[in-house]
């Protein structure tokens, strides 16, 4: 049976992204098997699609990178991959900015070997590495939900790259106490239970909590969405476990920020 969401993504979402001037590429970020799938402005791509050719071209054009336009990096949450989450924003923003839309690790086409780090910090490192290899020197990181945590980590780890952060539905840190309070409010035993639903009813609850307007889709479409988008459950569960930090550790970081101004 045809997956309706897969057809819509191919025929509508990806077509809109291409009409906005973006092309999808896979970037090897560490030469150890970690690959970030990312939508890139087509005029920023060298003729060769491999990571090695991209790096060579980047060095040749060091003084001409980004063409004077601000780069905007859109980071998705747990409910979808990059381009499915952000396609409408891509259409609007690509007129004025160089827009980059990565799939975070274990989403979309991005992969990492077994045993890889499962923290937002590693996600941030991989996205930053992909951007560097594509010639991006400065950017605004825009994150939704889980993507917001990654955006803040990018800014923390690489302030020379990230000019500013725009985040929605997110925090700088997910502390243990905040996590427990949110789960009580959601009525869920864990974030994995809520963010990685096993049935259509669970997906409806996720969408209801994550969208401003209430909207309706047939169960067939929601079922197809789950089949296409919710995979790598083990790895994504580990990502959620790696997201939570102790209140004490978060307080230490906040104090250090205040001391450094």
143-188 pLDDT, tens per residue? 999 999 999 999 999 999 999 999 999 999 999 999 999 999 999 9
Angle between helices 51-60 and 120-133 (to 10 degrees): 60
pLDDT at 55: 54
Residue 256 lies in a domain: no
Q: Is residue 34 included in any domain, yes or no?
A: yes
**Which whole number is the average pLDDT over 10-26?**
97
| pLDDT of amino acid 114 | 77
Query: Residue 239: is it exposed, middle or buried by C-beta count within 10 angstroms (0-12/13-18/19+)?
Result: buried
d(CA 140, CA 254): 22
Domain count, the chain: 1
Among the ranges 9-18, 208-217, 243-252, which has the highest mean pLDDT value? 9-18
- pLDDT, one tens digit per residue, over 32-80 is 899 999 999 999 886 555 555 555 555 545 545 445 799 999 999 999 9
Q: Is residue 31 part of a domain?
A: yes
Q: Is residue 11 part of a domain?
A: yes
Closest CA to 225 of 199, 249, 191, 248: 199
Say whether pLDDT at 94 is over 50: yes
Eight-class DSSP state of 103: P
Residue-number span of the structural domain to which 82 is assigned: 4-41+68-250
pLDDT at 127 over 60: yes
Average pLDDT score over residue span 213-229: 92
**Residue 118's CATH number:** 3.40.50.1820
Within a domain: 8: yes
Residue 55 included in any domain = no
Q: Is residue 81 part of a domain?
A: yes
């Amino acid at each position: 049976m045809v997956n309706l969401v897969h057809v819509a993504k191919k025929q509508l979402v990806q077509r809109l992204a291409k009409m906005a001037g973006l092309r999808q590429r896979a970037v090897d970020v560490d030469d150890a098997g970690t690959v970030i799938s990312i939508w890139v402005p087509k005029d920023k791509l060298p003729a060769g699609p491999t990571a090695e050719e991209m790096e060579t071209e980047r060095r040749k054009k060091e003084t001409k990178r980004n063409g004077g336009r601000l780069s905007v990096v859109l980071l998705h949450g747990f409910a979808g991959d990059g381009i499915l989450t952000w396609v409408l924003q891509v259409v609007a923003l690509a007129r004025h900015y160089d827009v980059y839309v990565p799939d975070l690790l274990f989403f979309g086409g991005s992969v990492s070997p077994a045993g890889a780090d499962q923290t937002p910090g590693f996600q941030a490192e991989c996205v930053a590495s992909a951007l560097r290899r594509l010639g991006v020197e400065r950017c605004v990181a825009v994150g939704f939900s889980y993507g917001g945590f990654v955006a803040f980590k990018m800014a923390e780890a690489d302030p020379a790259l990230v000019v500013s952060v725009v985040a929605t539905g997110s925090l700088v840190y997910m502390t243990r106490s905040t996590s427990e309070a949110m789960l009580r409010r959601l009525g869920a035993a864990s974030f994995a239970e809520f963010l990685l639903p096993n049935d259509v009813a669970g997906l409806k609850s996720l969408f209801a909590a994550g969208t401003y307007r209430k909207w309706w889709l047939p169960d067939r479409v929601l079922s197809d969405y789950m089949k296409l988008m919710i995979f790598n459950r083990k790895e994504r569960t580990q990502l959620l476990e790696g997201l939570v930090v102790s209140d004490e550790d978060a307080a230490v970081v906040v104090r250090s920020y205040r001391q450094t101004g």
